[in-house]
Structure 1
Amino acid sequence: MKKIFGLVLLMLLLVSATEFASPKPEAMHSIEGTWELQSFYNYDDGINISDTVPKAEGYRQVKMYYNGKIMWSRHSPKDSLDWFGYGTYRITADSLIETLEYGSAPMMSALDTLRVFRFELEMNDDYYSQISFDEEGNRTFSENYKRID
């Protein structure tokens, strides 16, 4: 009986020590919600932002993320085509991966060549940037969104 009690006590001590010694993972921000495009960044050297491009007057792009699903739409007064898409997404601490299943006719044409979109992700509670990169891993441009819901 003393051996069992000693073993249980030792196990509890090890578990307690492990909990206190192991750092808790940093909580990730949630991308779930509704986001509106605010601006674009360009990266000339692949690292630093070279300029900020505001969205054109009347241009509106909204993305909605919920329960692993994404839906987005875009309206541009200078473009007569409808642009929208639907699919799934997942995020990690520093990346956003969107896999589109279907969309508007122009989007479906684009989906013939590319369905999985991978971005570097910079995010806080109310703002995120999805950063595109070239085949060598250099940043090229970003879309910058603000949470609206």
Structure 2
Amino acid sequence: MKKLLGLVLLMLILISATKFASPKPITMHSIEGTWELQSFYSYDDGINVSDTVPTADGYRQVKMFYNGKIMWSRYAPQDSLEWFGYGTYRITSDSLIETLEYASSPMMRAMDTLRVFNFELKLTDDSYSQISFDEEGNRTFSENYKRID
């Protein structure tokens, strides 16, 4: 009986020790899903938000992330041009890298010199911001999205 009690006590100590010895892994939020643009931030000093601009009436921009692929489209009532793009993406805990493979004609002209877009990423379960920065690493503006699916 003493051996059984000792064995049970030893097992409880080992189980308790492993709970304290191995911290929970940090879980990242998932960007997979469908997102709609809500607003833009401006950063005058490269650190703090200086202005928030909501999207204009009728303006819609939607991004879809799935299985390493991204597709986005934009509708602006005052703009007769089509805007969309398709490519791949990857995220880390604090960055979003989009590589466009093809896009609408206006976007292809705009992408003539740039096809890989690097953003600082702020991601939660229901929202994310992709923050652009200048050559010195200072924040310039962000697009702020909410999850719609």
Size of the aligned set, in residue pairs, is 134
Residue 146 of structure 1 pairs with residue 146 of structure 2:
yes
1:57-92 C-alpha deviation (Å, 9 max, x unpaired): 111000000000000000001110000000000000
Which residue of the partner structure matches residue 110 of structure 2? Answer: 110
Which residue of the partner structure matches residue 134 of structure 2? Answer: 134
Which residue of the partner structure matches residue 90 of structure 1? Answer: 90
**Consecutive unaligned residues in structure 1, runs of 5 or more:** 1-16
Task: Report the alpha carbon displacement of residue 21 of structure 1 after superposing the two structures with TM.
Answer: 2.9
Q: Distance in 1 between matches of 2:18 and 2:118?
A: 36
Map residues 1-149 of structure 1 onto 2, 5 A cutoff: 21-149=21-149
Alpha carbons of structure 1 residues 18 and 74: separation in structure 2 relative to 1, 3 Å: same
CA RMSD of aligned residues (A): 1.5
Secondary structure at the aligned position of 2:90 is classed as strand
1:117-146 C-alpha deviation (Å, 9 max, x unpaired): 000000100000000000000000000000
1:11-61 C-alpha deviation (Å, 9 max, x unpaired): xxxxxx788534343100000000000000000000000010011111100
Instruction: Supply the AA of the counterpart residue of 1:60.
Output: R
Which aligned runs of 4 or more in structure 1 are off by greater than 6 angstroms?
none
Instruction: Supply the AA of the counterpart residue of 2:107.
Output: M
Q: TM-score, normalised by structure 2?
A: 0.86
**Consecutive unaligned residues in structure 2, runs of 5 or more:** 1-16
